[in-house]
């Protein structure tokens, strides 16, 4: 945990309704805990899928796969390596990215980039965002401390589902620079968010 959790939403593991406590119960096969966990995290899972995949029906399919995977693999959740929310969002993002890449695998690479324009929708456009709280606002603000290039490479990769090679092409920037900006951008974001791991 962060030494100074400046921005942490304080997921107290003592709280039986926290995702961490619920996931640990799910790991023991508790289906009621899973239903509660679903209600807590599914909007975020579907949210990140929608952002990356865009198509609403496909996003729900991805969300469904992710939640089933959360159930199946819960016994392997390792609290020492991160929070339940991080574990779940990591699965969700990877599934979403895999979905985008498999859908587009057959398309020509240039065509693909051209079609998608590399455009990442601005945050404000997401019509179905259901909750805008302080935590949300602070995360957005933390993006503003990045340099323009750091922000672009992170958004194209994370929200756009692009590989770093594609990002390099889209921004006409050397591969090495893209890799480095991704890393130092995340370091800066992490430190701004007060994330220690």
Interaction residues for other proteins, span 31-70 (CB under 8 A): 31, 34-35, 38-39, 42-48, 50-51, 59-60, 63-64, 67-69
**Count of residues engaged in binding other proteins, rule: CB under 8 A:** 87
Kindly tell me the sign of the dihedral angle through the C-alpha atoms of 82, 159, 100, 109: negative
Task: Pick out residues in 10-29 that bind other proteins (CB under 8 A).
Answer: 27, 29
Please work out, in degrees rounded to the nearest 5, the angle formed at the alpha carbon of residue 133 by the alpha carbons of 7 and 80. 40
Are 114 and 68 spatial neighbours (Cβ–Cβ below 8 Å)? no
The answer to whether residue 6 forms part of the interface with other proteins (CB under 8 A) is no
Q: Cβ closer to other proteins: 107 or 197?
A: 197
Nearest distance from C-beta of residue 16 to other proteins, angstroms: 20
Are 67 and 38 spatial neighbours (Cβ–Cβ below 8 Å)? yes
Are 67 and 19 spatial neighbours (Cβ–Cβ below 8 Å)? no
Q: Cβ closer to other proteins: 15 or 39?
A: 39
Among 12, 108, 147, 196, binds other proteins (CB under 8 A): 196
Nearest distance from C-beta of residue 35 to other proteins, angstroms: 6
Q: Cβ closer to other proteins: 21 or 83?
A: 83
3-state DSSP assignment of residue 165? helix
Rounded Cα gap, residues 64 and 95, in angstroms: 10
Q: 165-175: buried (b, 16+ CB within 10 Å) or exposed (e) per residue? A: ebbbbbbeeee
Give the binding range for other proteins (CB under 8 A) out of 10-18, 89-97, 111-119. 89-97
3-state DSSP assignment of residue 163? coil
Q: Cβ closer to other proteins: 82 or 118?
A: 82
Among 139, 149, 169, 173, binds other proteins (CB under 8 A): 139
Nearest distance from C-beta of residue 38 to other proteins, angstroms: 6
């Amino acid at each position: 945990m962060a030494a100074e959790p400046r921005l942490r939403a304080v997921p107290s593991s003592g709280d039986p309704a926290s995702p961490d406590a619920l996931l640990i119960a799910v790991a023991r096969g508790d289906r009621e805990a899973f239903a509660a966990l679903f209600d807590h995290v599914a909007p975020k899972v579907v949210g990140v899928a929608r952002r990356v995949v865009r198509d609403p029906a496909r996003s729900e399919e991805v969300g469904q796969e992710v939640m089933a995977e959360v159930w199946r693999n819960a016994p392997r959740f390792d609290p020492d390596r991160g929070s339940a929310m991080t574990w779940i969002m990591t699965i969700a993002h990877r599934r979403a990215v895999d979905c985008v890449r498999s859908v587009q695998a057959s398309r020509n690479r240039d065509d693909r980039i051209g079609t998608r324009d590399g455009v990442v929708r601005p945050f404000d456009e997401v019509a179905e965002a259901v909750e805008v709280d302080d935590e949300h606002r602070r995360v957005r603000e933390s993006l503003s401390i990045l340099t323009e290039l750091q922000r672009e490479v992170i958004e194209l990769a994370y929200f756009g589902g692009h590989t770093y090679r594609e990002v390099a092409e889209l921004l006409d920037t050397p591969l090495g620079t893209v890799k480095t900006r991704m890393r130092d951008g995340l370091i800066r974001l992490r430190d701004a968010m007060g994330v220690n791991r």
